[in-house]
Amino acid sequence: MQRFLPNRAQLFGFITAFIVLNVIGATVQTQFNLGHLLALGIDVPFSTRISTTLHDIVSLQPLFGAIFGIGFLIAMIVGHMIAKLVKTLPDLVFALAGFAAMGVTLLALKAAFQITAIGAAREWDGFLSLCVVGALAGYAFSVAKTRFARSA
């Protein structure tokens, strides 16, 4: 019988990746929003950028985590199955799975609600930036999972 629950290394990897996804994702979202204010001619001092970013990391985490965490979890499970089949370049497999998770989640939100729920994803540069965040989180999952498994 195959195990359904993740082992400790996978759980540690997912928690690490989830933190990466939320912190960098909220930061990207905030910086795109502040960039739009700059484009309108509104001055945004560096200290405001930092304080706004820190505020958004804390306040966006529950919503951002709920929206993207489910898709990311599914992507890591699928990535794990693919990595077991391919048996080569697991870091790349998980990075691509994370990239796809963000893209699919953003497109599904747009299709379901007829709006772009995450402001940074309104334009292609923001959409791709958030997908890259997913790739970084997928890579973080792979690396953290592997390192924890080796140390245990």
Give the model's pLDDT for residue 134: 97
End-to-end CA distance of the chain: 24
Give the model's pLDDT for residue 61: 81
Number of H helices, E strands in the chain: 4, 0
- Which of helix, strand or coil describes residue 10? helix
- The DSSP letter of residue 117 is S
| The model's pTM | 0.90
Give the model's pLDDT for residue 152: 63
The domains of the chain are located at: 8-151
Q: What is the chain's Cα-based Rg?
A: 17
Using the Cα atoms of residue 78, residue 29, residue 140 and residue 61 in order, give the sign of their dihedral: negative
CA distances from residue 126 to 7, 30, 80, 138 in whole angstroms, order as listed: 34, 11, 27, 18
Give the model's pLDDT for residue 1: 46
Give the model's pLDDT for residue 12: 92
Give the model's pLDDT for residue 125: 95
Closest CA to 80 of 20, 27, 149: 149
Low-confidence ranges of the chain (pLDDT < 50): 1
